[in-house]
Amino acid sequence: MKGLFPFFLFFFLLLVLGIVLILLNDFLGLKRHSKEKLIAYECGLDPSGDAKIPFRIRYYLIALVFLVFDVEVVFLYPWAVAFDELSWFGFVEVTVFIIVLLVAYIYAWKEGALKWE
């Protein structure tokens, strides 16, 4: 626990600082409400129409494929850092991991999940 004390102290100080800054902003900040400020902001344009517009399933498929390969990078970075300690066992494990992801990528490609039409 003695080795983790600086971490917890730092976390606690950041938490207190965050709360204090939010409260100071709430108490000392200017509050000028107007009709323009209270409308929803939509990319610099005035919002029009219903917000519940249908999205094509292709949008979700591309987002899901992006997430899968983004997570792959998250797993590959620690492996690359600890490559020397893992030796051949780590190399074989990551090779199997990449092959499984490659098969998933080829499947998504063949199914047309990567086409933006």
pLDDT tens-digit map of 21-49: 999 999 998 888 888 777 776 676 666 77
Which residues have C-beta within 8 Å of that of residue 97, sequence separation ≥ 6?
Answer: 72, 75
Paired with 45 in beta bridges are 42
Domains in the chain, number: 1
What is d(CA 19, CA 100) in angstroms, rounded to the nearest whole number?
45
Q: What is the mean pLDDT of the chain?
A: 84
Structural domain includes residue 91: yes
Question: For residue 1, is pLDDT > 70?
Answer: no
More confident: 51 or 54: 54
CA distances from 93 to 32, 88, 96, 98 (A): 59, 9, 5, 9
Nearest-5° angle of CA 43, CA 47, CA 48?
135
Structural domain includes residue 43: no
Can you give the residue range of the structural domain that contains 72? Answer: 55-117
Q: For the domain that residue 88 is a member of, what is the CATH number?
A: 1.20.58.1610
pTM: 0.47
Provide, rounded to the nearest whole percent, the portion of the chain with pLDDT above 70. Answer: 90
